[in-house]
Structure 1
């Protein structure tokens, strides 16, 4: 019997070299694994009945501790099972010994797997697992805008580091983990018959030699959900730029208030990483209804109801929502980040990277930076 989401277990796995293991740590990563499987014909379920078909993909959830992320992951895990895929939920961060237990339990299957799919090549957990696998096929699916940075770093042979941390001095843990990170980067470089695919909805136009780029147009999402009911008003999408230390808290709240007033937004779809305290203050200052989605926003928007205009700051959704909402008439509008909003500790590359996120977005309406109300 397969363990349900929230349980730990190692269901029996086939040892065929064609078997695929996917490692995810966020709901969006799991969504994009389902999109990848749909494109590659793994677990094609009947669009009307969702009857499971195919079972050569096992999704391993390396569960985080954040309650909001865990809740969305449980919902996504159920959707993956509905598609006929195995799901193994690992309490990978459930105490000091959890990583050793998780890696030890996965080592055998990692060595047997013919293909490994990962949602976050920057994850130390995933990088460690990459040192174990013998898979000849490696696939990176989107973990948002970080995919753009990953491909650029891989192409230039740079160390793998998240964009909002780049430019800072490596800490002791970074230095200790550097050999593992370097080994993971080598594994993700095609060589000796090893194939690497990047499955992305991001504007990744230049790939390293030998890396295959496959476009993610959210075909599975559009086939399974919607079309949505469209409301007359506007909705606003939140970001975790404050939580990651990029944007000043007060500047962000002022910008949200001005944007909501200017465009008549009534709902604020919170990012799963946004703090409860910040959201409480945001609601009091703006009057917006705070919505905590139980699924990735692409699915929420596709199910509806959704505003005729969706407002966002630079983030992954300015690339993904136009694809998920193709043909619905919904307009996605993005507001630039004013350099004055950045914190003193923000990476020197932060503003340039955020501008590139906005500038490369397709099928969106670009708004001028808002002035404080």
Structure 2
């Protein structure tokens, strides 16, 4: 029987984490695993445990970096692009936000590629850029890889037929730009529904529970990361992971600083791994008032932690890493602990859903210790089940 030809794949990423997760997805598409994700069961969660070989250039993957403007993201993306080239993938860097005419140049230059691509992988379905590009492509295979906890909200909104809105903005009134862009967003949402012969896959390490009918969910077990990095040297003591919840207007800055100081003191943390979107002013104040060494990682934290050295305990607030670090660090003996967000820390501008969403991020995490006013309790990490298994 002649195998089905592998379609050329075009991937769009706007952050280092998205690029990492495209590499993780590509790792599962190697010939050793079969072509094109064959055998996945729609609307079921399949946990993949079988070791796989590196992705090969025959996958036909072109990674398009829609470059952001902030220097930290750009620096991490350039490092991740080097790793992607080392894997044999083509990388195309687009200055997609370099002035008023940049979007027109970018979309015009990508249109021929989009029309030829048989499969499109995207890291942020909420992105207006990505939504606009989705209206151009004729690809029958669409794949959404993680852009952090936003994937949880995306899958639920798609399943419920709601408009695509980031969780920390939900509850507010649509602005003029939202209303102007609404037809494009609605068209993108329709394309992301598995209908009309389209195959839609969500590749995620998040605890996605609301799966639209016909959409396949494949669990990201960070096999590529574990194969390429580590195991790390584990240090005594703790490291603390930063968050951009202050920058997004969800958590009050003074309350956050107090929480970091208390958490670091209670657990003897020495280093603070900054989120790439944390402001320089906030980090300078944090270092001065807590004594923590602020580290600006040059790669996503999953790779930094796996490469090491890393503290025996990694402390975090509710964020993506409470879901991604346990599988990335499986077998290393590193403990991941998450500190709840007190409702009193939320700003008056925070979405009405913010508190419940952040609690859900923590409640659904596996392989972490939970730190709260009642103490800490452990939730053991459950490794991925055999291929084809469903945890529904």
TM-score range, shorter chain: over 0.9
Matched, 1:298 2:273: no
What displacement does 1:206 show?
A: 3.2
* 2:316 aligned residue: 312
* 1:111 aligned residue: 115
* 2:143 aligned residue: 139
**1:160 pairs with 158, 164, 168, which one?**
164
* 1:242 aligned residue: 246
Structure 1 residues 353 and 42: CA distance shift in structure 2, 3 A: farther
Q: Is the 8 A contact 1:60 1:89 kept in 2?
A: yes
The 2-side partners of 1:328 and 1:370 are apart by: 28
* 1:282 aligned residue: 286
Structure 1 residues 94 and 42: CA distance shift in structure 2, 3 A: farther
**2:16 pairs with 24, 27, 36, which one?**
27
What displacement does 1:54 show?
A: 2.9
Q: Is the 8 A contact 1:247 1:342 kept in 2?
A: yes
What displacement does 1:255 show?
A: 0.3
What displacement does 1:55 show?
A: 5.2
Structure 1 residues 137 and 51: CA distance shift in structure 2, 3 A: closer
Q: Which runs of 5+ in 2 are unaligned?
A: 34-50, 376-392
Q: Is the 8 A contact 1:43 1:84 kept in 2?
A: no
Structure 1 residues 237 and 20: CA distance shift in structure 2, 3 A: same
2:230 aligned counterpart, secondary structure: coil
Matched, 1:183 2:187: yes
The runs of at least 4 consecutive aligned structure 1 residues that moved more than 4 Å come to 49-53
Matches within 5 A, 1:1-373: 18-41=7-30, 53-54=57-58, 56-369=60-373
Q: Is the 8 A contact 1:20 1:57 kept in 2?
A: yes
The 2-side partners of 1:370 and 1:147 are apart by: 30
1:139-190 alpha-carbon deviations (Å, 9 max, x no partner): 0000000000000000000000000000001000000000000000000001
The 2-side partners of 1:55 and 1:149 are apart by: 30
What displacement does 1:51 show?
A: 10
1:54 aligned counterpart, secondary structure: helix
The 1-side partners of 2:136 and 2:245 are apart by: 34
Q: Which runs of 5+ in 1 are unaligned?
A: 1-15
1:50-72 alpha-carbon deviations (Å, 9 max, x no partner): 89643500000000000000000
Structure 1 residues 195 and 19: CA distance shift in structure 2, 3 A: same
Q: TM-score normalised to the size of structure 1? A: 0.92
1:316-350 alpha-carbon deviations (Å, 9 max, x no partner): 00000001000000000000000000000000000
Aligned-pair Cα RMSD in Å: 1.9
The 1-side partners of 2:251 and 2:121 are apart by: 32
Q: TM-score normalised to the size of structure 2? A: 0.88
Q: Is the 8 A contact 1:242 1:248 kept in 2?
A: yes
Structure 1 residues 50 and 352: CA distance shift in structure 2, 3 A: closer
2:11 aligned counterpart, secondary structure: strand
What displacement does 1:369 show?
A: 4.9
